[in-house]
Structures are given as C-alpha cells and as structure tokens.
C-alpha cells in the first residue's frame, strides 16, 4: 500500500501544479484580450479628427501608446505557450499514474481523464478503443481551440499588425533609424513566437506527439 500512496501523492501534487498553469493561461488570455481591446481603442482614436480630441490627447500620444502594444502581445503569447507546454507534459505524466492506480486497484478505467478522455477532447485523438462495447465515437473539435484559433488570436494578430505598421510609420517620421530598429525587433520576436515556439508547441501538444511518447517511455522503463 505504500507504493499506491506514493503514486496518489504524486498524482495530487501534479494536479495542483497543472491547475496553477491553467490559472496562468486564463490570466494571460485575459491580458491579451485587454491589451488588444486597448489597442483597438487607440486605433479608433487615430481615426478621429484632431479637432474632436480632448486637449490632453494628441495623435502623437496615441502613436506612442501603439508602439509597445505588439511587443506586449508577443510577450504574453510566449507566457501562454510556456504554460501550455507544462500542462501537456504534466497531463501526460498524470495519465501514466492513472493507469498505474487503476492497475493497483484493479479498477478498469476508474481513473481515465488524462490518459483516455483528454487526448480525445483536447488533443485531437481519433482512435477510440473499448473492450466492452463496439460504439463508433465521432471525432470532436475542441471549442477552446476553435475560439482561440478563429477569434482571440486573429483579433490579437490584427491589433498587433495594425499597431506595428502605424508605429513604424510614426517612428519613420521621427528618425529612420528608430523605425528600422523597431522593425527588426518586431520581426525577430514575431519569428520566434510564431515559427519557433508556435511550431514546436503545435508539434508537442498533438495526440501521439513526441513529448507524449517520451514521457510515457521514461515513466515505464
């Protein structure tokens, strides 16, 4: 029984750690939404005639507010990517522990959330096997992924690009070197988050990913 107690303790500890990362993702998603909303407000101000703006608010002030918005959005996306990676790694290990607990208790699939249900609901797993029934399970699309991929991220990207373009134009009017430096910084961080971090995150969070396989192998060898 000492072995099963140790496994359950690790199971509970990992769940607590996973919940911390899930809370961080919700917080950072809220930040992205708020920053993007602020950016859209600033863009709206840019379209208002100067004569209609309050005396304390000028177009130059609005331009200055736009400059850091793309970098802040990229930074927040990187935090979210880190938490997602932790969640999938921890979830895979929890799934292995679920199988061990079921084996110890001889309880079939009493614990099934991480190693059977989550890969299907969140990871895009399409192959469902059951020893007791022959039911065909229709693959589903994660509403969370659809919402992020088609609403939150495109909205944030639109604000990012609009802010970046107007920021570059504004800095170009001050000094061409400022504009070029800002463009290089944006290009570097955009490439890193979209093509480096994003590409690997997509690879590792898919069903049957190398991350999942490696953790399961290391947990059983």
pLDDT digits (tens, 9 = 90+) for 155-185: 778 878 888 888 888 888 888 888 899 899 9
Tell me 152's DSSP state: I
Greater model confidence, 106 or 17 = 17
| Number of other CB atoms surrounding residue 62 within 10 Å | 20
Which of 78-82, 92-96, 119-123, 186-190 is predicted with the least confidence, judged by mean pLDDT?
119-123
Nearest-angstrom CA–CA distance, 99 and 208: 17
Mean pLDDT for 63-70 is 78
Cα distances from 85 to residues 25, 59, 62, 91, 166, in angstroms, run: 11, 40, 36, 10, 33
Which ranges of the chain does DSSP label H, i.e. alpha helix?
2-46, 59-66, 69-105, 118-121, 143-147, 153-174, 176-191, 198-204, 210-220
Which of 63-67, 90-94, 101-105, 122-126 is predicted with the least confidence, judged by mean pLDDT?
122-126
The predicted structure's pLDDT at residue 56 = 47
Digit-coded pLDDT (tens) for 27-57: 777 777 677 666 666 666 555 554 544 544 5
Q: Is the pLDDT of residue 154 over 50?
A: yes
Digit-coded pLDDT (tens) for 184-200: 999 998 888 888 888 88
How would residue 3 be classed by pLDDT, with cut points 50, 70 and 90?
Answer: confident
Q: Would you put residue 126 in left (φ > 0), alpha (ψ -120 to 50) or beta?
A: alpha
The structure tokens listed for 17 are: 């750690």
As a whole number, the mean pLDDT across the chain is 78
pTM for this prediction: 0.76
Q: Is the pLDDT of residue 139 over 80?
A: no
- Share above pLDDT 90 across residues of the chain, in percent, rounded to a whole number: 2
The predicted structure's pLDDT at residue 76 = 81
Cα atoms in the 13 Å half-sphere on the side-chain side of 173: 8
Cα distances from 64 to residues 60, 140, 161, 191, in angstroms, run: 6, 44, 15, 23
The predicted structure's pLDDT at residue 129 = 60
């Amino acid at each position: 029984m000492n072995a099963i107690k140790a496994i359950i303790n690790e199971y509970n500890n990992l769940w607590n750690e996973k919940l911390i990362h899930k809370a961080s993702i919700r917080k950072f998603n809220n930040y992205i939404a708020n920053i993007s909303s602020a950016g859209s407000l600033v863009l709206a101000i840019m379209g208002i005639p100067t004569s209609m703006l309050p005396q304390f608010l000028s177009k130059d002030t609005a331009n200055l507010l736009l400059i850091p918005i793309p970098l802040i959005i990229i930074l927040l996306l990187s935090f979210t990517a880190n938490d997602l990676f932790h969640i999938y790694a921890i979830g895979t290990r929890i799934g292995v522990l679920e199988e061990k607990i079921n084996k110890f208790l001889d309880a079939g699939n009493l614990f099934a959330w991480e190693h059977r249900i989550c890969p299907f609901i969140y990871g895009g797993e399409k192959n469902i096997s059951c020893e007791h029934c022959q039911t065909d399970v229709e693959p589903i699309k994660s509403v969370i992924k659809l919402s992020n991929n088609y609403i939150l991220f495109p909205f944030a990207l639109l604000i990012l690009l609009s802010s970046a373009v107007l920021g570059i134009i504004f800095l170009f009017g001050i000094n061409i070197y400022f504009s070029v430096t800002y463009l290089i910084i944006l290009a570097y961080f955009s490439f890193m988050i979209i093509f480096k971090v994003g590409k690997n995150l997509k690879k590792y969070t898919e069903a049957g990913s190398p991350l999942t396989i490696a953790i399961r192998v290391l947990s059983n060898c």
